[in-house]
A and B are shown apart, each in its own frame.
Chain A
Amino acid sequence: MKQRMLAVILVAAAASLAIVPAPSPSDDGAEQVVPISASQYAFDPAEITVQAGQRMILEISSTDVVHGIYVDGYELQAIADVGRIQTLEFKADSPGTFTFRCSVTCGPLHPFMVGKLHVVPDYKWVRLIGGSALAVIAGMIWSQKRETQANI
């Protein structure tokens, strides 16, 4: 029972380590303006990196059909008509990687038109490797528990 409990705790710790956001730095008042061009089925740039705590101004425009942008995690949305610039302002206060995706049906690959917003530092690899190591240890403990049961 102790082994099972320990394995469960370790898996929970592994998941927590992988998903708990890194501490957010205080607001330094900095601002970053990022023009984003949307076309079937890509955002340009497709990846944006910003320091946590900065104020973001995304200037979205479309080059072909009407597109939209929805930022996961921040739950923000804007529509980009062809030839018009739409702005989306927010403070990037949560470190991590957030998917932004097209929110207006724009063709067959629309559901997969995505980009990534990296709010750094997010210590992603530290958290991933640490979490995976804990998960492996949990699995090793669990296997011992099953083996003990089998021997009994």
Chain B
Amino acid sequence: MRLRRTSEGIELSANPFLRRLLISRWPQWILTVLALAGFLYAILAGLFGTPVGNRNLAITAVWIAWWAVLLLILVPLGGRAWCSICPIPAAGDWLQRGGLMNSDGRQPRGLGRRWPRRLRNLWMQNAGFLLLGITSTVILTTPLVSALMLAGLLAMALIVSAIFERRTFCRYLCPVGGFIGMYSLAAPLALRVKDPAICAEHASKDCYRGSELGHGCPWMVYPGTLQRNAACGLCMECLRTCPLDNVALVLKSPASDLTSSGRKPPISLDESFKAFIMLGAALIYSAVLFGPWAEWKQAAYGIGTLPWFGYALVFSGLALLVIPALYATAAWLGRHAGGIKSIGWRNFLLRSTSGLVPLGLAAWVAFSLSFVFINGAYVISTLSDPLGLDWDLFGTAAVSWQPVLSGLLPGLQMTVLMIGLAWSTSVTIRAISHAVSTRGSRLLASVPTIGANMAIILILGWLYL
């Protein structure tokens, strides 16, 4: 396998076979259609199948199987790889492109309006995820609600695609896409240009505007200046449209997006709040769903009841107040301890909280391991009996529930958390190193944030171990 090493990393697309595979629309299209078929099947199962969650494919396929593949493999290794074959925006894409396989990107259909400037950030996605978060115990366990939520996302993506340009839904509204984008900053897979100078001199900007070879970047990103994974959907359109062969799929150092030099902090305020919300959600879910406290489970499930409002308040308070306050205090202490004058407190906060990306990713991987190891058997039985109607399509309907390696689970979770803590420590120190000149003050400045990270890991460890 021929690969080339560039300043960004190993250029995977230098391999002729892989390049052909990436440029061809067929592999991506087939995977998207298969995912869409599975998605629609899950919606039908949720609408017409048994209301018992662990006997319905809408729950097991989406919240056990898909979630496991997404959090344990795709996001940590491939960043937004899922977004490249996600079925939710597929119908909207086809609508805008005027066909299922239309590769000519010169005349997009639809109203093509621009998303309001003040909403071009993650705040809507943060609010959407928080809303899903406080209602998720019902979504995760009730097939009908799950199906309605999935169908709602599908309809919303289609409507937004008809009104607004390109992948506005994915970029600014999809509650899943928001956290995938943030955690993709830690992933090693990336699309980058080989030589930015070539892009700067290239007038037609086919990668952004589109050409007869493909569509202008659906994610509204100009690849010529792309330096981070968050907004790149890995759709490969720029690889297809670039007439100068200046775009590459690279394997780079993980989390290098979070430690790049420059005066600008590696994450923005909306992204840091995304990190706070995700970390808060991981803590709450670990305690409520996998802890022994039944009252909290009932409260999380009883949407609209007084206990649920208490749960929603605790969830939102932890994600939007307690965790941000913890890290804001840590940043304030760190900035003073390190004697940092070159950058302001907000800049320092954003730098020091960039370590929450690998930390949060580790927390979610550890949390998701429980789903796979403990509840994975439900996927096997519901494959044969997707609606819970006593079918046996593949002869696996009678497979009884049995946890897999349940004795090893806490050990695996702790290993992931320890890797996450080490990784976040390294990222935190490197992210603030551009603002602090000496090694001693750098360590002093990072100690409070690292302490906060350690406290989070200790709480998760206490819950899992």
Residues of A at the B interface (CB closer than 8 Å) are 7, 10-11, 14-15, 18-19, 41-43, 46-47, 70, 72-75, 96-97, 99, 101, 103, 105, 108-116, 124-125, 127-129, 131-136, 138-140, 142-143, 146-147
Decide yes or no whether B411 CB sits under 8 A from chain A. Answer: yes
What separation, in Å, do the CA atoms of A72 and B450 have in the docked complex?
Answer: 32
Q: Which residue, A47, A72, A105, has most C-beta atoms of chain B within 10 A?
A: A72
Are the CB atoms of A132 and B292 closer together than 8 Å?
no
**Complex formed: what's the CA distance from A114 to B403 in Å?**
13
Interfacial residues, chain B to chain A (CB-CB below 8 A): 51-55, 137, 141-142, 259, 288-294, 297-298, 301, 374-375, 401, 403, 406-407, 409-411, 414-415, 417-419, 421-430, 433, 443, 450, 454, 457-458, 461-462, 465
Q: How far is the CA of A138 from the CA of B427 in the complex (A)?
A: 12
Whether the Cβ atoms of A41 and B294 lie closer than 8 Å is yes
Closest 5 CB pairs of A and B: A139-B425, A42-B294, A46-B292, A19-B411, A72-B406
Bound complex: CA A129 to CA B454 (Å): 9
A108 touches B414 (CB 8 A): no
Contacts of A127 in B (CB 8 A): 465
A139 lies within 8 A of B423 (CB): yes
Q: Compute how far the CA of A133 lies from the CA of B427 in the bound complex, rounded to whole angstroms.
A: 16
CA distance A136 to B301 in the complex (A): 37
By a CB distance below 8 angstroms, the chain A residues around B430 are 143, 146-147
Q: Enumerate chain A residues within 8 angstroms of B428, measured Cβ to Cβ.
A: 139
Per DSSP, are chain A's interface residues mostly helix, strand or loop, or mixed? helix
Q: How far is the CA of A113 from the CA of B293 in the complex (A)?
A: 9
CB distance B292 to A114 under 8 Å? Answer: yes
A7 to B429, CA, bound (A): 15
What residue of chain B has the Cβ atom nearest to residue A74's Cβ?
Answer: B407
Contact A132 B454 (CB under 8 A): yes
18 A-B pairs with C-beta separation under 8 A: A18-B415, A19-B410, A19-B415, A70-B406, A75-B406, A105-B52, A110-B53, A111-B141, A127-B465, A129-B458, A132-B457, A135-B418, A136-B454, A139-B424, A139-B426, A139-B428, A139-B429, A140-B426
Q: A101-B374, A131-B414 are in contact. Are A140 and B465 (CB under 8 A)?
A: no
19 extra interchain contacts, Cβ-Cβ under 8 A, other than A139-B450, A143-B426?
A10-B422, A18-B414, A19-B410, A72-B406, A105-B401, A108-B142, A109-B298, A110-B54, A111-B375, A124-B462, A125-B462, A128-B461, A129-B458, A134-B418, A135-B457, A136-B421, A139-B429, A142-B426, A143-B425
